[in-house]
Copies of this chain bind each other. A is one copy, B any other.
Amino acid sequence: MANRDIIHAIAFNADGLVPAIAQQHDSGEVLMVAWMNADAVEKTLNTGQICYWSRSRQALWRKGESSGQTQRLIEMRLDCDADTLLLLVDQTGVACHTGRHNCFFRAVRGGELVTIAKVETDPKELYGE
């Protein structure tokens, strides 16, 4: 595996991070955006399970490690500037920590921010009390 070559091709920012969009591979739904460092990219490619870098916890974060809502990698893509990743994934359950299916649940409609998606799973079920 030439994971090293792939990682070398990525233009990480000054903090060593690259934004990664997770998109449901079959429906096209944009689920979430998070960040990866080189270790997260490598772990994702090696395991086939999406692993991000948590900027708040400053630690690798295997998606679903707490909630069980994992993301299986279908395909990793790189944009023209090599500074953004698109992850085609298969999402188990809900992607958003609020219990919604994706994180983009607020829309600008009629000049206001409107919540357009319902909570599908109680966050208490995902993370405990």
Contact = CB atoms under 8 A, between A and B. Distances in A.
Interface of A: 1-3, 5-6, 9, 19, 21, 23, 27-30, 32-33, 45, 75-81, 84, 86, 96-98, 100, 103-109, 111-113, 116
Given A19-B19, A113-B5, A113-B9, A77 B108 contact: yes
A102 to B, nearest CB: 8
A103 B76 contact: no
Contact of A109 (B75, B112, B113): B75
> Among A84, A103, A105, A108, which residue has the most Cβ atoms of chain B within 10 A?
A108
Contacts of A84: 19, 33, 103-104
